[in-house]
């Protein structure tokens, strides 16, 4: 299971760099990838449940849906950035801490670029999953049956 989650980021989005394997191993071992996946699965789920089943305004327009999507993406982006930062740059893995602290290793500079990359990937995945969630949820919504289209 962990291997499949890691493959989404490492293989599908090509984020793996063999020169900094320690980071990817730490994310794999410490459950970082699971947190990333849960972020883009659960936050949009919550957001779109609110949109389709709690928001009772009957005259919602397509730009309402777009605005909600933007909010969802921002939430996922921020959360992913936070998790990545915590899992990589503020990791409790002593080997990774040592590697980042070693100026000759180049780990610190590379590690600092990663939270933004993971956040961007999760934002893309959020857009995709939001469309799926929307098309499923609108079927069972009593108010927003016409959104997004």
The stretch among 72-80, 112-120, 121-129, 134-142 that binds another protein (CB under 8 A) is 72-80
Among 9, 36, 40, 43, binds another protein (CB under 8 A): 43
Is the distance from CB of 13 to CB of 121 less than 8 angstroms? yes
* DSSP assignment of 83-145: HHIIIIIT---HHHHHHHH-TTT-HHHHHHHHHHHHHHHHHHHHHHHHHHHHHHHHHH-SS-T
By C-beta, is 95 or 124 nearer to another protein? 95
Least distance from another protein to the Cβ atom of residue 135, Å: 21
Q: Can residue 79 be called a binding residue for another protein (CB under 8 A)? A: yes
Closest to another protein by CB, 68 vs 138, is 68
Confirm or reject binding of residue 19 to another protein (CB under 8 A). yes
Interacting residues of 35 by C-beta distance below 8 A, sequence separation 6+:
83, 87
Q: State yes or no: residue 57 binds another protein (CB under 8 A).
A: yes
- What the block records as the tokens of 36 is 């990333």
CB 119 within 8 Å of CB 77: yes
Q: What is the DSSP letter of 59?
A: T
Q: Which residues contribute to the site for another protein (CB under 8 A)?
A: 2-3, 6, 10-11, 16, 18-22, 25-26, 28-29, 43, 46-47, 50, 54-57, 59-60, 64, 67, 71, 75, 78-79, 82, 86, 90, 92-95, 98-99, 102, 104-105, 107
């Amino acid at each position: 299971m962990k291997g499949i989650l890691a493959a989404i980021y490492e293989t599908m989005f090509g984020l793996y760099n063999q020169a900094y394997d320690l980071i990817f191993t730490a994310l794999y071992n410490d459950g970082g990838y699971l947190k990333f996946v849960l972020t883009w699965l659960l936050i949009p789920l919550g957001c779109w449940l609110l949109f389709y089943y709690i928001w009772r305004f009957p005259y919602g327009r397509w730009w309402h849906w777009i605005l909600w999507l933007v909010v969802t993406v921002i939430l996922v982006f921020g959360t992913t950035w936070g998790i990545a930062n915590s899992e990589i740059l503020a990791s409790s893995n002593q080997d990774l801490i040592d590697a980042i602290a070693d100026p000759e290793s180049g780990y610190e500079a590379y590690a600092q670029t990663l939270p933004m990359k993971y956040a961007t990937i999760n934002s893309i995945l959020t857009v995709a999953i939001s469309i799926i969630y929307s098309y499923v949820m609108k079927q069972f919504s009593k108010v927003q049956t016409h959104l997004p289209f």
